[in-house]
Amino acid sequence: MHDIRLIRDNPNGFDAALARRGLAPLSSKIIEIDTLRRAKITAAETALADRNAASKQIGAAKSQGLKDEFERLRTLVANKKNEIGILEVQAKEEDERLQALLGTIPNLPHDEVPEGTNEDDNVEIRIWGTPVELGFTPKEHYELTATKGGMDFETAAKLSGSRFVIMSGAVARLHRALAQFMIDTHTTENGLMEVNTPVLVRDEAMHGTGQLPKFAEDSYQTTNGWWLIPTSEVTLTNLVSDQILDEESLPRRYTAHSLCFRSEAGSAGRDTSGMLRQHQFEKVEMVSVTKPEDSLAELDRMTDCAQKILEKLELPYRTVVLCTGDMGFGARKTHDIEVWLPGQSAYREISSCSVCGDFQARRMNTRFKRVGEKKPEFVHTLNGSGLAVGRCLIAVLENGQQEDGSVSLPKILHPWLGGKTHITAEGKMA
C-alpha cells in the first residue's frame, strides 16, 4: 500500500516511478478522490462543531423562555445530526474508493532497479558453476529412465486434472530429502527460525501481502471463504500483522516448508510437460522483517542463503536483477536465481528474493518503535524462495543424469538419504 501523504507531496515523482513500471500516471485521480474524501471529513467535523455549539445553547434558550430560539436550535441540532450521518457515509465511501485504487497499484521500484520491459532486460549479477558436459543428449526430468516409475502424471490427471503429479519410490524420497536439507541448512547455518503455518488463510492475510484484490484469480478459494496459500510468504509475513515491534527484536527471519497452490491463470500453454509448473507444489520460503535502513543489505543476505543451497548441491546457476517491467507486484527490488537445466539447455527460475520496503507493512499495519522514540515507524519486509522444492528436484535429476539411465545424487544429500548415492536406471535408490 502506498503512503497517500507522499503522493500528495510529490505527485510527479509518484507518476515517474509508475512510468518506470510501464504504467500510466495515477496521481491526479488519487488526489482527486483524496481531496473529496478530506472535504467530506472536514464538512462532517464542521457540522459536528455546529451541532455541539447549538446543543450548549439549547439549555440557555429554554431557561430564558426563548421558545422560538429553543425550537430553532433544536431543529438545527436535528438537521446537523442528519447532515453528519450523510457526510460520514460519503467520507467512508470515498475512503473505500481510495483504498480500492491504492490496493491495485504495484510497489514503486527502487532507484537501483534497471530500466526494462521484460525478462530480456534483466541484468546478470552473478554466475556460479559451469554447465556439465554430459557427453550425450540430455533428457528432461520426466523423460529419464530412472524417473519413469516415480512420476505419474496420468493417474494424477485422473484424480485432479492437469498440472498435478504423483511421486513415488526414489523420486518421492529425493523430493522429501531436498526439503529437509533446505530447512536444516536455513535453521542451523543461516539463522532462520523454522515455522509451521496453516495453508488456509483469510482475506486479510492475502491482502496484507498483496495477493488481494488484484490477483484473486491466481489463487484458489474454498466455498467457505478461505484461501489456499500460493506461498508461505503469506503466513510468515502476516505473523507480525497489526503489531508494534520492539527495535531490539529486529531483524526477524523465518523459514517454512509448505504446500503451495496456484491456479496459473496467466500461464496457459506454458511448461505443460513435467513438473516445472504445477497447481500444487512445495516450497521452502524465507521471510525477513527489518528496520528500513537494513532491508537492502538483508536482500543480499537472503539471496546468498538461497545461492548457497544450490552451491551445496553443486548445481550451476546465475543470479539476475529483475528490470522494472519484470518485477512482481509487491517488490521494490528483486533478485531471481536461475538454475541450469540440461534437458532444456537453459537457466530457469528456482528462487525469487524481493525487498518490499514498507509496501506490505502498510497493508498489514506492522510497525516498530526505536529505542528512546515515541512514534512508531513501518517495518520493511522481504521474501524469497529457499528453494522451490520441485524445481530443485528437476535440477538434481537432470544435472545428475547418466548415459546408462541412472542418476547420480549430490554428495551433500547422502546423509539425508541414508547413505544412498544414486537412483538406478530401474528407479531404485541405491
Catalytic residue among 277, 318, 348, 370: 277
Catalytic residue among 352, 354, 385, 406: 352
In three-state secondary structure terms, 324 is coil
Told to judge if 93 belongs to the known catalytic residues of this protein, a careful annotator would answer no
Report the run of H or E that residue 393 belongs to, with start and end. Answer: helix 389-399
Report the run of H or E that residue 388 belongs to, with start and end. Answer: strand 380-388
Give every strand in the sheet of 377-378, ordered side by side: 244-246, 367-369, 377-378
Using omega within 30 degrees of 0 as the cis cutoff, is the peptide bond preceding 387 cis? yes
Closest CA to 395 of 335, 344, 352: 344
Helix, strand, coil percent content, the chain, rounded in steps of 5: 45, 20, 35
Told to judge if 219 belongs to the known catalytic residues of this protein, a careful annotator would answer no
Distance CA 386, CA 333 (A): 17
Told to judge if 262 belongs to the known catalytic residues of this protein, a careful annotator would answer yes
The DSSP secondary structure of 216-271, one letter per residue, reads: GGGSEE-TTS-EE-SSTHHHHHGGGTT-EEEGGG-SEEEEEEEEEE---TT-TTSS
In degrees and rounded to multiples of 5, residue 286 shows phi and psi of -120, 135
Catalytic residue among 88, 349, 370, 377: 349
Please state the three-class secondary structure of 211-230 as a single string.
Answer: CCCCCHHHCEECCCCCEECC
Catalytic residue among 262, 301, 362, 367: 262
Sequence-separated (6 or more) residues with CB below 8 Å from residue 404: 425
Catalytic residue among 253, 295, 391, 406: 391
Distance CA 239, CA 123 (A): 33
Measure Cα distances from 62 to 55, 56, 79, 119, 369 in Å: 11, 11, 19, 77, 52
Residue 391: all three cell numbers together = 524445481
Told to judge if 277 belongs to the known catalytic residues of this protein, a careful annotator would answer yes
Measure Cα distances from 232 to 113, 156, 278, 282, 331 in Å: 26, 24, 16, 10, 16
Q: Where in the sequence numbering do the catalytic residues fall? A: 262, 277, 349, 352, 391
